Amino acid sequence: MSKLFRAVIMGPPGSGKGTISERIAQSFGLQHLSSGDFLRENIAANTEAGVLAKTYIEKRLLVPDHVMTRLLLPRLEEMTRHSWILDGFPRTLAQAEALSRACELDVVISLNIPLETLKERLRHRWIHPASGRVYNLCFNPPRMQGVDDISGEPLIQHEDDRPEALVARLRHYKDVAKPVIDLYKAKNILHTFSDTDTDRIWPHISSLLNTKIRTDQSSAQRASTN
């Protein structure tokens, strides 16, 4: 069996983590694990962690590390047969350290997108809250304005996506992410991509993953034939 591949994608709100993770899932067969989706599922199912997480999200606070790790790590431990890309976790150094204890990452992708671009994207971001599906009126519009393509239900915009809220969110992201980025840099697994367009970043990410996944698979094959 080929070696399993573990990747993390990081970046500020609106940097394209969800969009790029979906492309990676489709092109490379990795499972896209979104911490936002896990949270929404747990909130909908009224699990203990979900009920707790909801109290923070409603106040627009980040969910504490122990709640996030309690929620995420068991799910990752179940994924013993799948390669995955994790989006939205870890956000803090404590989460990154907990993840390091649970598994070894192959690649961390960090997206570095100019503030003006983030503002513009989030102004046009519409989501389907039940599924977490994300649209953008310019980049990937829904077939019918204001309506989810699959369920036909209405789309909403996040209060947090207003340009005025973004500057504070971004400052917070930078403070919290810096030690996480430094940790992955020190481990030599960090790959940073800077551009204004997902379509220009994508070929670089695709060729990085092509190299990494192929190299890993051929060394796993060599190991199994030796």
Ligand X SMILES: Nc1ccn([C@H]2C[C@H](O)[C@@H](COP(=O)(O)OP(=O)(O)OP(=O)(O)O)O2)c(=O)n1
Residues that bind ligand GDP (CB under 6 A): 11, 13-19, 121, 125, 134, 136, 138-140, 197-199
Q: Which is nearer to ligand GDP, 4 or 170 (CB)?
A: 170
Q: Is 184 exposed, middle or buried, given 0-12, 13-18 or 19+ CB atoms closer than 10 A?
A: buried
The DSSP call for residue 34 is E
Summarize the annotated binding site for a ribonucleoside 5'-triphosphate as residue ranges: 14-19, 125, 134-135, 198
Mapped onto helix, strand or coil, the DSSP state of residue 113 is coil
Residue 133 touches which of ligand X, ligand GDP, none (CB < 5 to 8 A by kind)?
none
Q: Which is nearer to ligand GDP, 158 or 212 (CB)?
A: 158
Q: Which is nearer to ligand X, 39 or 76 (CB)?
A: 39
Q: Is 216 exposed, middle or buried, given 0-12, 13-18 or 19+ CB atoms closer than 10 A?
A: middle
**Minimal distance in Å, beta carbon 52 to ligand GDP?**
23
Residue 62 touches which of ligand GDP, ligand X, none (CB < 5 to 8 A by kind)?
ligand X
**Is 97 in contact with 43 (CB distance < 8 Å)?**
no
Residue 7 touches which of ligand X, ligand GDP, none (CB < 5 to 8 A by kind)?
none
Separation in Å, CA 10 to CA 37, 39, 94, 143, 180: 16, 17, 15, 29, 10
**Minimal distance in Å, beta carbon 86 to ligand X?**
10
Binding site for ligand X (CB under 6 A): 13-14, 35-36, 39, 57, 62-63, 68, 88-89, 91
CA–CA separation, 152 and 81 (whole Å): 34
Q: Which is nearer to ligand X, 39 or 109 (CB)?
A: 39
216 half-sphere exposure, CB direction, 13 A CA radius: 16
**Minimal distance in Å, beta carbon 9 to ligand GDP?**
8
**Which amino acid appears at position 223 of this protein?**
A
